[in-house]
A and B are shown apart, each in its own frame.
Chain A
Amino acid sequence: MTDMTNTQSFENEAQLGDYYALLKPRVMQLVVFTAVVGMLAAPVAVNPVVGFASILFLAIGAGASGALNMWWDADIDAVMKRTLKRPIPAGKVTPQAALYLGVALSGLSVMMLALSANLLAGFMLAFTIFFYVVPYSMWLKRSTPQNIVIGGAAGAFPPVIGWIIATGNFALEPWLMFALIFMWTPPHFWALALFMRNDYDDANVPMLTVTHGRRVTRNHILGYTVLLTVLAVGTAFSSIGGWVYLATALVLNALFLKGAYDIWRRDEEMSEADNFAAERKFFRLSLWYLFAHFSAILIEAGLKPFGLGGW
């Protein structure tokens, strides 16, 4: 009997991959990509070693906030299909271990980023971790339907931090990149909420779909997409924009607006008839949307040394 119990606990023992999964690797990829773009779009060149180390510490900080978020949200993760296999609800890692890992990596990453880049970058990373864990995860995620909007702000800081790593200062351009992610997040997640509806209902997370209904959510998706389009195309005329960015923004925003309009003009009956095809398509497009905009900013920055990027 004892042997059986032991065997079971051994099988459930955490491996390195489980601790890695606590850091939300997919979110970390987005953080690394947007931060690298922010760093390379800045008008100051960064030493490659300093740049690599700084982005690594930024990614570790983002991972730490992911671990703290999983620690806090373990109860609702266990209810939602999408998050059921995360290390804590799967019984691989204890909530206490996730808390310790998150706190330790937060301290390490902030300290190392301040040392490798500058104090302002370290401060901004500390603020981002705090913002994601305390105001978003602890206070607002379970209390307001605007949770996604606020959470989007936390995810939008990496390009700002990337810029600060290079320059040590704030400027308008990184905040344009911030605004791009900030305005993109709500339509991205609300589209997901439309076709993953039972998840949020079961977990009692006050997503807009649950609190204000699905018609209002569709209206919000279109409203945010219109604002996002103005912002994304307008960014083309800043110092990080140029012909490549403008062409990218025009094509993708036309597609994104069309997708949002399609979602807006449909009702539940139409969506259920084709298993939310338009909503799923919009969600997939949203992933390409952000990737393409930041890639275009990166290309503009890469062309500048040859006298080609920008205006």
Chain B
Amino acid sequence: MALRPEHEIHTRRKGLNIGVGLMLGAFVLLVMLLTFTKITSTDFRIPASQGVGAQIDEGGTN
């Protein structure tokens, strides 16, 4: 049995789905870039009482 040619509906929906996918990907990238910019352009620090910040403030990792 021969393969059926793809119906136009598949092409149309493919275009919509790819478009939405690209936009979501761009949104994720933008949020990452924005987060990076916000953190590096301000004097943001991990609070001293938590995690790595506390260890650095205490002068070492041990």
* Residues of A bordering B, CB below 8 Å: 10, 13-16, 47, 49-50, 53, 56, 112, 115-116
With A13-B13, A16-B19 given, can you name 12 additional A-B contacts, CB distance below 8 Å? Answer: A10-B9, A13-B9, A15-B12, A15-B16, A16-B20, A47-B37, A47-B41, A49-B37, A50-B38, A53-B33, A53-B34, A116-B34
Residue of B nearest to A53 (CB): B34
> Within the assembled complex, what's the spacing in Å between the Cα atoms of A83 and B11?
28
Residues on the B chain within 8 Å of A14, using CB: 16
A-B contact pairs, 9 of them (CB 8 A): A10-B8, A10-B9, A10-B12, A16-B15, A47-B41, A50-B38, A53-B33, A112-B31, A116-B34
| Given A10-B8, A10-B9, A16-B20, A49-B15 contact (CB < 8 Å) | no
Which parts of B29-50 form the interface with A (CB within 8 Å)? 30-31, 33-34, 37-38, 41
Residues on the B chain within 8 Å of A13, using CB: 9, 12-13
B21 to chain A, nearest CB (A): 11
> Within the assembled complex, what's the spacing in Å between the Cα atoms of A82 and B51?
61
Contact A15 B34, beta carbon cutoff 8 Å: no
B25 to chain A, nearest CB (A): 15
Residues on the A chain within 8 Å of B31, using CB: 112
Tally of B interface residues using CB under 8 Å: 16
Residue of B nearest to A9 (CB): B9
Contact B30 A15, beta carbon cutoff 8 Å: no
> Within the assembled complex, what's the spacing in Å between the Cα atoms of A34 and B16?
30
> Within the assembled complex, what's the spacing in Å between the Cα atoms of A47 and B42?
11
Would you list the 10 A-B pairs with minimal beta carbon distance, nearest first? A16-B19, A49-B37, A10-B9, A53-B34, A16-B16, A116-B34, A47-B41, A49-B33, A53-B30, A47-B37
> Which secondary structure dominates where chain A touches chain B?
helix
Residues on the A chain within 8 Å of B13, using CB: 13
> Within the assembled complex, what's the spacing in Å between the Cα atoms of A49 and B36?
10
Residues on the B chain within 8 Å of A49, using CB: 33-34, 37
Residue of A nearest to B30 (CB): A53
B37 to chain A, nearest CB (A): 4
> Within the assembled complex, what's the spacing in Å between the Cα atoms of A47 and B20?
28
Which of B13, B30, B34 has the most chain A CB atoms closer than 10 A to its own CB? B34
Residues on the A chain within 8 Å of B30, using CB: 53, 56
Residues on the A chain within 8 Å of B20, using CB: 16
A115 to chain B, nearest CB (A): 8
> Within the assembled complex, what's the spacing in Å between the Cα atoms of A178 and B31?
30
A189 to chain B, nearest CB (A): 32
- The one of A15, A47, A50, A112 in contact with B15, judged by C-beta atoms closer than 8 angstroms, is A15
> Within the assembled complex, what's the spacing in Å between the Cα atoms of A10 and B30?
34
> Within the assembled complex, what's the spacing in Å between the Cα atoms of A50 and B9?
39
Residue of A nearest to B23 (CB): A16
> Within the assembled complex, what's the spacing in Å between the Cα atoms of A57 and B55?
39
B26 to chain A, nearest CB (A): 10
> Within the assembled complex, what's the spacing in Å between the Cα atoms of A213 and B15?
48
Residues on the B chain within 8 Å of A116, using CB: 34
> Within the assembled complex, what's the spacing in Å between the Cα atoms of A16 and B16?
5
Residues on the A chain within 8 Å of B33, using CB: 49, 53
